Chain A
């Protein structure tokens, strides 16, 4: 699969997709959100205006949600604190629908669906080691561990999504990022407390 045709041209000094570069050259000036002059009919239209910020955010959120989703499913199964399992079920559903939207955007950007951050110490990422530890724990120790991991995940994904809501090049990406950041606030607020 070919990567998205985005580049920085020395002449413009900006990170722009090829289509936008040509429209700038033709029109002289344009807004990333301006409608394309000749929309191409397609089941999956390319993502207009997307930059390295959009790529970075989408390629980070997908593995973050994937990994957290596995921990949420474990929590839905195993949590003992009141309300935690129910919360985890709802939160896992939110993560599933987010992932579906993110993967559509990824496809439209022509990017492969691979975890480019595997093995890295990514802030807030639920790692394979975290999942293995979660599977070994039970009772209150499991609840405390899961709550800490998920608080980190929700907080970090809210942080990068707030940034993407401001900095992403594509309006669609900015809107999805803003929605996810809002969802995170709700999820954090509803996160059950457990006694130490």
Chain B
């Protein structure tokens, strides 16, 4: 398994915190969810309006469309390992010229990091049906309030950037996106689809969003490299990268992973057992 997030500062700190040579102390479980389908649909921004959106690439739940809700998703199948994760994940489609490119590495990590260890110990499971949007689809420039980053697989020297980066031959273009991990404890969505969630402040969840939940980190690896001038997203430039998520994990599967992997700060695999 590749070392997680070597290109991100917070992940570098995580790796450096390893107390022993052979035990990496990381609160983590994951789902590996290959690309499922593409559609100009968005059940969070354009519910009930098929064809209204820019093109999206969907992962995980195989039924996600403009009419999806918790019930419809719950009765469907998933591309994920584990296949118990029926969650819907989607991003704007990446184009090289006019050809859509789907990522071949599609890992969705659930992490404790981002808050203090005593707060990680109080992490609550993500509630079923919770909708989270991360990144800034409306960004008008690389400095415009986005947390999404592009980097190169196995080429940390290239660094990470809000815009596309030029990856050496043989490498792959990687997208990293961390979702907010503090919940207001009440709402599964909000009018702007953002204000029910918050990023932590100084290692803790703010009083407005007091409930720590696992941090979703989406890591997508696209089979492209070299000059990125021919690349664009359906939402525009590289810095408009964003991710959408509807949690459809079965309650008991999510609870077990939070109890066994996140709170005690243990690294687990797709099966939710210590790896």
Contacts and interface: CB of A to CB of B under 8 A. Distances in A.
B236 A119 contact: yes
Given A52-B44, A120-B137, A121-B234, 18 more contacts: A3-B190, A3-B191, A6-B190, A7-B186, A7-B190, A8-B129, A8-B188, A10-B129, A53-B49, A60-B49, A118-B138, A119-B235, A119-B237, A119-B240, A120-B235, A122-B54, A164-B49, A167-B49
A159 interface: yes
Contacts of B131: 8
Interface string B41-73: 010111111111111000000000010001000
B186 A10 contact: yes
The CB with the most chain B CB atoms within 10 A, among A4, A52, A164, is that of A52
Given A7-B196, A51-B47, A60-B46, A120 B129 contact: no
B127 interface: yes
A67 interface: no
A52 B69 CA distance: 13
Interface residues of A, number: 33
Given A9-B188, A119-B240, A163 B235 contact: no
A56 B46 contact: yes
A119 B239 CA distance: 12
Contacts of B140: 118-119
B192 interface: yes
A51 B186 CA distance: 18
Nearest to A18: B191
B240 A163 contact: no
B82 interface: no
Interface of A: 3-10, 13, 15, 51-53, 55-57, 60, 116-123, 156, 159-160, 163-164, 166-168
Given A9-B186, A13-B70, A119-B240, A56 B192 contact: no
B97 to A, nearest CB: 13
Nearest to B128: A10
A56 B47 contact: yes
Nearest to B48: A167
Contact of A160 (B52, B193, B196, B236): B52
B129 to A, nearest CB: 7
Contact of A56 (B49, B54, B234): B49
Given A60-B46, A123-B51, A164-B48, A3 B129 contact: no
Contacts of B50: 163
A118 B92 CA distance: 14
5 contacts: A7-B186, A13-B129, A52-B193, A56-B46, A168-B48
Contacts of B47: 15, 51-53, 56, 167
Interface in B103-148: 127, 129, 131, 137-138, 140
Given A3-B195, A8-B188, A156 B51 contact: yes
A5 B45 CA distance: 16
Interface in B231-270: 234-237, 240
Contacts of A51: 47
A51 B187 CA distance: 15
A121 B51 CA distance: 12
B45 A56 contact: yes
Contacts of B40: 123
B189 interface: yes
Contacts of B138: 116, 118
A163 B190 contact: no
